[in-house]
Structure 1
Amino acid sequence: MRHPFFRVLPAVFLGMTSALTMISPVHAAPQSAVRIYDRIRDDPVRLNMFLRAFPKGADLHNHLVGAVYAENMLDWAARDGLCVSLKEKRILDHACTHSGEGELPAAELSHHAESENVLIDALSMRDFVPAPGDASGHDHFFATFARFGSIDDAHSGDMLAEARDRAARDHVAYLELMISPGIGGMIGAGFHHPLKGDDFATAHQALAPEIPALVQKARAETDRMEEQARDVLKCGTPQAHPGCAVTVRYLFQTLRTLPPQAVYAQLDGGYATVKADPRFVGLNIVAPEDDPTAMRDYDLHMRMFHFLNGVTPGVKLSLHAGELTTGLVPTEGLRHHIRAAVEVAGASRIGHGVDVALEDDPESLLSEMARRHVMVEINLTSNDQILGVKGAAHPFSLYRRAGVPMALSTDDEGVSRGDLTQEYVRAARTYDLSYADLKTLSRAGLDYAFVPGASLWVDHQPGKFIPACQAWPVASASCSAFLKSSEKARLQWALEERFGTFEAAVTHEGLYQ
């Protein structure tokens, strides 16, 4: 049975009002919910319970390959008959041989608890403690991906199923997952067509005959992933998992640490994939921003985006920018990445944005981001684990003071050993957030999602309904027509209903009294 917070409400789609009118009394309950939140906010256990059930609009910064817990990866390796290397602390892409030193069949790990724990620690940030040869949280984090990369392709659908089920348990309505289907072919095509300086037009023309096949491969891989996930989740059957009710879209994820021609080909193929497949709602560029190649070519990459925006207009961008600190790179490298992502590449959202205070003229940059409604995807746990930036040293409060919109996200929840509730708890306790602040963060997730359709809110002002829907909680005929035309607005409307249900439920929960 699905949790009531994830129930389907056909009234939204049919223009009926009876189901909506039923929740009218609970819409008046927020003050009770506010008082409960204020009462328990210094009680970590009850606060966690409260925020786990709290409706969360979206997780917009979530790498699917990093969303999976190590225990599940080891289970899949055992199912596939693969071997693990205890020496290299990784899952291998083959079965064990007698000649393999320090190798063990993954299926036997259940009888070797110490070895299993060593591998779980190596495949994630669990119990990470700096040590000789593994001294940096940054390096340990990024090293995990190579350690389980051998199972990514075969289990992408299992990964999707895990991410959707966790989102459902976490009361997250919408996931925007970063994935890279067919990217190997795009990279290969780039190496066949050298890029000369900024001559992107010639590169685009040279790649054009290959792009349709590359896009088709990306779409076919996505089809297989989704089919596998549906089977795992038993969607469409009486045994359907809660994750089936979570709406999912994708950002095409490209790699920034390769030679320019390979990066350009990924972007060209990525833009074409987004244009061809409505499941893909935008594009991103990933991998360590402090990598020497990524740093050297950063401005070149931003110009690639600028060019492709003209070739394929309408593709939305959420770009990793400012995931840097002093010490990781020379101070000169901290001066303009966020600004270039916004002003040159045309990003609508920024992922991380940690070094914003170190950019040239941060005041004008923050003002511009606020004015243009460039939203920042805040990843508190990730920024702590990878960059060592947390608490007052994090720009969370700076962005709030500047009026820059923000939403909380997980980044790589499996590798980081967390979920979106953990991010809400951390934000609430660290930055003394009110209940209204938390609702603003939750609503922003859907307001700035790339899911198609107009927003339910006027000018990104959560709670200020568009004129057609001001009769909330009743959907008038004009509001019903609007909701039918906008998937985003339907998700936002459902989120408001979930808030009403949640606020009524916590008011009567004795544990919060």
Structure 2
Amino acid sequence: MNSVPPQDLNHPAPRRTSHRRALLVAALCLLPAAVAGPAGQASAAPGAPAAPRPAVTAGEAVASARLAAIRQDPAALQAFFRAMPKGGELHNHLSGAVTTEYLIELAAEDGLCIDTKTMTAVAPPCGPGTRPAADARTDGAFHDALVREWSMQDFPPGGNGHDHFFDTFGKFGEVTWRHRGKLLAEFADTVAEQNQFYLETLVTPASDSAKKLAGEVGWDADLARMHSKLVAGGKLDKVVAEARKEADAGDAEFRTEARCATDTPRPGCGLTVRWISQVSRGSTNERVFTQMALGMRLAEADPRFVAVNLVQPEDWDTSLANYRTQMRMLQYLRGVYPKAHVTLHAGELWPGLVKPEHLTFHIGEAVNTAGAERIGHGVDLVHEDDWQRVADTMAERRIAVEVPFTSNAQILGVKGADHPFETYRAHGVPIVLATDDPGVSRIDITHEYRYAAETYDLGYRELKDLARASLEYAFLPGASIWQGNPTRDGYRLAGACRHDEPGSERLRPACRRLLDASPKAAVEWRQEAAFGAFEHRVATGSVGS
């Protein structure tokens, strides 16, 4: 699951046919003028001159024209977006990523029980007020009720989506903690089948041991002294070791479930996967700090782990009260663990959900104090103090915003013109599309790309650049295949591979060395080969017909 099959990097590019040339002529005639001019996510950041955008390729022209022609054909649009390469999945919670139906089946396999009053999974034996989860296999009404309680299925438009969404995790939590590997196998298949090439997913490593250690150490507002207490006597390293063993067990379960060592491996076996450590922002200060330190120490000790992130509702009273303190914690720990990455849920707020003063600083603090390299959600941007400066800073530092449209609509009721998507684009902030909790939301990444295209009238080149951005701003080590600032100047191949064609069997030595040395470049190159194959299929009429 953590490697890129070399044959995918060297898959021969399809030859152009006369049919494709005929389509290209028609495409260039029909192509909107905007496609041949500035395309992609945004204009130049203030003070930075933009280079001319790369010219539209023949394949892009055909795909652009095809997308324009099927705008009013839902079935053709769905086929087009499902087949289109869509980069990486950078913002998702593994426990909320798999389908609810799969969680119900796991609950049945484990012999769990369901509290019939709250519809919460509980450990056996099944006493009064509960019934076996296995009953959902034969009782359709019971099964459907569980699906509605454990997801956003059939949720009424006027209901409290925020509370229902977050409550689902507690209801199926007894299921998900038991099977990290099985959950990954299920979700990795989905990601691979959606034509994505990389996955970063959120889990909580060694949760019980981290909680116990935090309780033993207690809180100390002197962060250096607090950290010293955690590491004294190897206490924190013991929790790191436990987290790594936990990951080993999950990896083994994944490989078994996904049949990776057999002649019939599941699609997810070819996916590159990395973990992000969750930190429960609603917990006590000592537990938050301990989880942060654990996640960052783990990221420096184990290449499977790349970053930390704060989870749980940002609008909870404890989350609001401790927000600035938590940003200072991260600021301190970044100095201790400079190799660990930080991506933060920040600005997942909206007027009416919190007092106005809480809307004014969360994204700015995440960027300027905590040093976040990516921002999750960032929905309340225009309510921040001096929000234009915040956006410009994100553009200048190339801090991407992770945008899960459906999650924002379900939890906050924010969509369409109210969403800051176009504002981020206008300021040159890198954008990556994400799903957040696709199992709970009942969607997939294809849905999010199609939503972006239909809601904001995005063309193929702009959508292609969104997919590229999701790999460019991934926490994979190594050099990129792209030069400069591609969000500002467009995606141009860097020197090592600028004369090579993705998908070609023959690569110049410099390009081969880059791909062999850089996991990031290898995955990006794999996607470019897939784009070439996709555009060929569009040209020959086998996509979106």
Separation in 2, partners of 1:129, 1:89: 18
Say if 2:13 and 2:529, in contact at 8 Å, map to a contact too. no
The farther-off stretch of 315-324 and 106-115 is: 106-115
Separation (CA, whole Å) in 2 of partners of 1:128 and 1:377: 25
Match of residue 505 from structure 1: 537
3-state DSSP of counterpart to 1:459: coil
Q: Secondary structure at the match of 1:386?
A: helix
Distance 1:512 1:258 in 2: 48
Partner of residue 421, structure 1: 446
Q: What's the counterpart of residue 346 of structure 2?
A: 321
* 2:526 counterpart of 1:494: yes
Report if the CA contact (8 A) 1:60-1:445 is conserved: yes
Distance in 1, Cα, partners of 2:65 & 2:349: 39
**Contact 1:93/1:151 (8 A) holds in 2:** no
* Residue correspondence of structure 1 range 211-222 to structure 2 within 5 A: 211-222=236-247
- Verify the 8 A CA contact 2:8 2:526 in the aligned structure 1: no
**Residue of structure 2 aligned with 1:66, choices 96, 117, 122:** 96
Partner SS, residue 192 of structure 1: helix
The answer as to whether partners of 1:254 and 1:263 remain within 8 angstroms in 2 is yes
Structure 1: unaligned runs, 5 residues or longer: 1-5
Are the equivalent residues in 2 in contact too, given 1:173–1:246 (CA < 8 A)? yes
How far did 1:29 drift? 2.2
Give the equivalent residue in structure 2 for 1:139.
163
Q: Which residue of 2 aligns with 1:288?
A: 313
Secondary structure at 2:275 match in 1:
strand
> C-alpha distance in 1, partners of 2:143/2:482?
49
**How far off is 1:431 after superposition?**
0.5
The equivalent of 2:226 in structure 1 is 203
Q: Which residue of 2 aligns with 1:258?
A: 283
CA distance in 2, matches of 1:512, 1:297: 49
Q: Deviations over 1:364-406 (max 9, x none)?
A: 1111111111100001000000000001000001111111110
How much identity, in percent, do the aligned residues show? 41
SS at match of 1:458: coil
- Rate the CA distance shift 1:7–1:266 in 2: closer, same or farther, 3 A: closer
Which residue, 161, 167, 184 being the options, matches 2:185? 161
> What is the rounded CA distance, in whole Å, between the counterparts of 1:402 and 1:161 in structure 2?
38
User: Residues of 1 paired with 2:499 and 2:348: CA distance?
Assistant: 43
Q: Superposed, which structure 2 residues align to 1:103-122 within 5 Å?
A: 103-122=130-149
2:439 paired with 1:381: no
How far residue 186 of structure 1 moved from its aligned partner, in angstroms, is 1.1
Q: 1:34 aligns with which of 55, 61, 64?
A: 64
Quote the residue 1:400 is aligned against: 425
Aligned equivalent of 2:33: none
Secondary structure of the residue aligned to 1:317 is strand
Q: Distance in 2 between matches of 1:310 and 1:37?
A: 47
CA shift for structure 1 position 353 = 0.2
Deviation at 1:95, TM superposition (A): 2.8
Structure 2 match to 1:3: none
Counterpart of 1:493 in 2: which secondary structure? helix
Q: Once the two structures are superposed, what CA deviation does each residue of 1:477-503 show, in whole Å capped at 9, x if it has no partner?
A: 111111111010011111000000011
Name the structure 2 match of 1:246. Answer: 271
1:270 aligns with 2:262: no
Query: Pick from 201, 207, 222: which aligns with 1:183?
Result: 207
Q: Cα 1:354–1:110, aligned 2, differ >3 Å: closer, same or farther?
A: same
Match of 2:365 in 1: 340
Matched letter for residue 89 of structure 1? M
Amino acid aligned to 1:421? T
- Distance, in Å, in 2 between the alignment partners of 1:200 and 1:109 is 49
Q: Structure 1 residues 365, 423: closer, same or farther in 2, change over 3 A?
A: same
Alpha-carbon offset, residue 10 of structure 1: 3.4
Q: CA deviation at 1:42?
A: 2.5
Partner Cα distance (1:156, 1:168) in 2: 18
The answer to which of 346-355 and 77-86 deviates more is 77-86
Are the counterparts in 1 of residues 416 and 455 from structure 2 also a CA contact under 8 Å? Answer: yes
Question: Equivalent of 2:334, from 297, 309, 333?
Answer: 309
| CA deviation vs aligned residue, 1:442-494 (integer Å, no higher than 9, x gap) | 00000000011111111231531111111130521111111111010011111
Q: Which letter does structure 1 place at the counterpart of 2:98?
A: V
Tell me if structure 2 keeps the 8 A contact 1:86–1:119.
no
1:61-83 deviation line (CA, Å, top 9, x unaligned): 01101102111111111111121
Runs (5+) with no aligned partner, structure 2: 21-56
Contact residue 322 and residue 337 of structure 1 kept, 8 A = yes
Number of aligned pairs?
Answer: 496
SS in structure 1 at match of 2:491: coil
CA distance in 1: counterparts of 2:261 and 2:498, whole angstroms: 35
Separation in structure 2 between the aligned mates of residue 249 and residue 428 of structure 1, nearest angstrom: 28
Q: State the Cα distance separating 1:9 from its structure 2 match.
A: 4.2
The more displaced of 26-35 and 151-160 is 26-35
- 2:68 is paired with a residue whose SS is helix
2:91–2:201: 8 Å Cα contact kept in structure 1? yes
Question: Normalising to structure 2: TM-score of the pair?
Answer: 0.88
Q: Decide whether the 8 Å contact of 2:218 with 2:286 is kept in 1.
A: yes
Residue aligned with 1:41, SS: coil
Contact 1:183 1:254 in 2 (8 A): no
Describe the superposition over 1:281-320 as per-residue Cα deviations: whole angstroms up to 9, x where unpaired.
Answer: 1111111000100100000000000101111112111100
* Contact 1:451–1:488 (CA under 8 A) maintained in structure 2: yes
For 1:160, give the aligned amino acid. L
Q: Residue 108 of structure 2 aligns with which residue?
A: 78
**Distance in 2 of aligned mates of 1:265 and 1:503:** 48
- Deviates further, 87-96 or 481-490: 87-96
Report if aligned partners of 1:289, 1:324 keep a CA contact under 8 Å in 2. Answer: yes
Q: Quick one: distance in 1 between partners of 2:293 and 2:491?
A: 38
In structure 2, C-alpha distance between the alignment counterparts of 1:502 and 1:436, rounded to whole Å: 13
Aligned counterparts of 1:226 and 1:359: Cα–Cα separation in 2: 41
1:217-240 Cα deviation digits (max 9, x unpaired): 111111111111111110021111
Helix, strand or coil for the counterpart of 1:371? helix
For 2:190 and 2:8, locate their aligned partners in 1 and report how far apart those are by CA, in whole Å.
27
